């Protein structure tokens, strides 16, 4: 495998009101991921309008009024575009789609996006930005009469052509109000839809152009590198726990996992304490995972399954984002945990560990199919409902080649609708630990001060590795 084989296949949705900076952000992302295919439904329509194609003629009457083109037309268009080879090989940035909940649902039938980036700048700035925006007719570089004029008036900075301020037909006041109103009406359910899928990221800065280069680097990093820092919970002393959590929060991981099985005395795991853990780590940007690992799968506290289920119940009612449960748990255990998790809208990460070796690719595929069948057929848990429950498959590498098993699993499962985390443990497994996120893993683990598994590297090493390996 060469470095060029490590190209990213990223599937990104950009979402925000007209003028939020989706086009600008696309430019930034493309600098880092030049191969990624930008699909702007608005651009496709404009091109078709200027060429007077049947699609263009049909769409024009809606677009000029600031109305949405009917779902059936847009969905067919996007479906066709996503099916082409360039997208399959290099990933996509979807800009301007989905715009309705039905479009979002239809998209889920076609592809499984990795990230939904929400841009939501203040309204007054937005209006100024839209009213002033125009682009070079020759090379497409974007300008703004008020915010970002060309360096020399009337001359394009990029290609040197003579340019004039010429607005898009739908950037007038009336159409703009209709578009913003339409956005407000439809956006909430779409944002919620992706929030539930666990792939929503908000961009806080009002305008992409105001991001510093450091922030841009962080943003790109965020597109690919999601890190979970595990924390061993050894006591219920709040000051101690709080200090540890704050340290972890300062290193800005996307996920924090509390390993509750590190506690000696399980009677300390009271609802009050668990609620406190969640409360202390609460941050819009950090997702919380609660885990009480079985002793046969690397857990630190030996207890019977009945007691463990009681703890799992307490964990769910403390309302973390996820709890982690071993696939090897018995049917009754899984059934009860799933039903409670549904009730409280907590997601379950179903995990599998092999501390001895890495099974063959076929064995892992069978394991996944069997577990899926067990959930759906034997335990009658709806396939759609478990879809957002990630599978986590962790093995010990005995050779470098073993790393390729989890990587292939990440590639394969992230193409379908199943969230996946898979890599190898041990010194020989570091390659997949680092690179799994490049192949569709939801996140990878890195440590801050203490490691919870062999081969775990620090968050700084993880970030550094990504910077060196994957940055142009
Ligand atoms: P945009 O450039 O993304 O603001 O799109 C310009 C116009 O194209 C919109 O105001 C709509 O009329 C139409 N359009 C673009 N994308 C969609 C979509 N996903 N669904 C319906 N209409 C769309």
Give the per-residue pLDDT at 209: 60
Write the pLDDT tens digit of every residue in 75-105.
Answer: 999 999 998 888 887 889 999 999 999 999 9
Give the DSSP letter of residue 218.
Answer: H
Nearest to 156, CA basis, from 132, 173, 140, 179: 140
Going from the Cα of 207 to the center of ligand 1, the distance in angstroms, rounded, reads: 21
* Distance from the Cα of residue 24 to its chain's centroid: 20
**How deeply is 166 buried, as exposed, middle or buried, from its count of CB atoms within 10 A (0-12, 13-18, 19+)?**
exposed
Lowest-confidence pick of 119-133, 254-268, 299-313? 119-133
Residue 99 appears among annotated catalytic residues: yes
Q: Does a cis peptide bond (omega within 30 degrees of 0) precede residue 174?
A: no
Which one from 88, 145, 168, 417 is the annotated catalytic residue? 168
Any residues with CB less than 8 A from the CB of 69 and at least 6 apart, and which? 41, 45, 58, 59, 62, 63
Write the pLDDT tens digit of every residue in 355-409.
Answer: 999 999 999 999 999 999 999 888 888 776 677 789 999 999 999 999 999 999 9
Give the per-residue pLDDT at 405: 98
Going from the Cα of 63 to the center of ligand 1, the distance in angstroms, rounded, reads: 7
- The span from the CA of 329 to the CA of 350, in Å, is 10
Task: Report the share of the chain in percent with pLDDT over 70.
Answer: 91
Give the per-residue pLDDT at 222: 63
37 lines ligand 1 (CB under 6 A): no
Give the per-residue pLDDT at 224: 65
Global confidence as pTM: 0.66
Give the per-residue pLDDT at 472: 41
Ligand 1 pocket: which of 16, 22, 48, 69 to mutate (most atoms <8 Å of CB)? 69
Residue 266 above 80 pLDDT?
Answer: yes
DSSP string, 19-35: TSSHHHHHHHHHHHSTT
Place of tokens 């690397």: 298
Nearest-10 crossing angle of helices 71-82, 101-110: 30
3-state secondary structure of 293: coil
């Amino acid at each position: 495998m060469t470095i060029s084989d490590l190209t990213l296949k990223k599937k990104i949705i950009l979402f925000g009101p007209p003028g939020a900076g989706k086009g600008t952000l696309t430019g930034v992302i493309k600098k880092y991921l030049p191969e990624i295919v930008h699909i702007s439904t608005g651009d496709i329509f404009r091109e078709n309008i200027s060429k007077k194609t049947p699609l263009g003629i049909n769409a024009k009457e809606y677009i000029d009024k600031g109305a949405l083109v009917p779902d059936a037309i847009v969905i067919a268009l996007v479906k066709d575009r996503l099916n082409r080879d360039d997208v399959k090989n290099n990933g996509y940035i979807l800009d301007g789609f989905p715009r309705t909940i039905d479009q979002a649902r239809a998209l889920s039938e076609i592809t499984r996006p990795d990230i939904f980036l929400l841009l939501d700048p203040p309204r007054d700035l937005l209006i100024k930005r839209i009213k002033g925006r125009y682009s070079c007719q020759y090379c497409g570089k974007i300008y703004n009469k008020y915010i970002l004029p060309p360096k020399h008036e009337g001359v394009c900075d990029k290609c040197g052509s003579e340019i004039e301020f010429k607005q898009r037909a739908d950037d007038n006041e009336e159409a703009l109000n209709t578009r913003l109103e339409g956005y407000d009406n439809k956006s909430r359910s779409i944002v919620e839809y992706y929030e539930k899928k666990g792939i929503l990221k908000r961009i806080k800065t009002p305008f992409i152009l105001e991001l510093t280069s450091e922030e841009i680097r962080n943003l790109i990093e965020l597109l690919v590198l999601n890190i979970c820092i595990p924390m061993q919970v050894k006591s219920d002393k709040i000051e101690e726990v709080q200090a540890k959590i704050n340290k972890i929060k300062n290193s800005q991981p996307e996920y924090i996992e509390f390993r509750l099985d590190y506690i000696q005395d399980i009677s300390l795991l009271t609802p009050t304490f668990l609620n406190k853990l969640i409360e202390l780590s609460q941050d819009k940007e950090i997702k919380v995972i609660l885990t009480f690992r079985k002793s046969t799968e690397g857990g630190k506290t030996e207890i019977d399954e009945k007691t463990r289920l009681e703890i799992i119940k307490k964990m769910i009612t403390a309302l973390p984002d996820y709890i982690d449960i071993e696939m090897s748990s018995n049917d009754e255990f899984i059934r009860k945990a799933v039903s409670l998790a549904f009730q409280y809208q907590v997601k379950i990460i179903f995990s599998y560990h092999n501390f001895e070796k890495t099974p063959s690719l076929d064995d892992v595929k069978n394991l996944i199919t069997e577990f899926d069948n067990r959930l759906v057929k034997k335990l009658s848990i709806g396939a759609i409902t478990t879809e957002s429950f990630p599978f986590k498959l962790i093995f010990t590498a005995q050779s470098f080649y073993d790393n390729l098993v989890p990587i292939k699993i990440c590639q394969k499962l992230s193409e379908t609708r199943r969230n996946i985390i898979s890599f190898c443990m041990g010194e020989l497994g570091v390659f997949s630990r680092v690179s799994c996120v490049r192949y569709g893993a939801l996140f990878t683990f890195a440590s801050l001060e203490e490691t919870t598994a062999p081969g775990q590297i620090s968050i700084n090493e993880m970030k550094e590795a990504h910077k060196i390996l994957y940055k142009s």
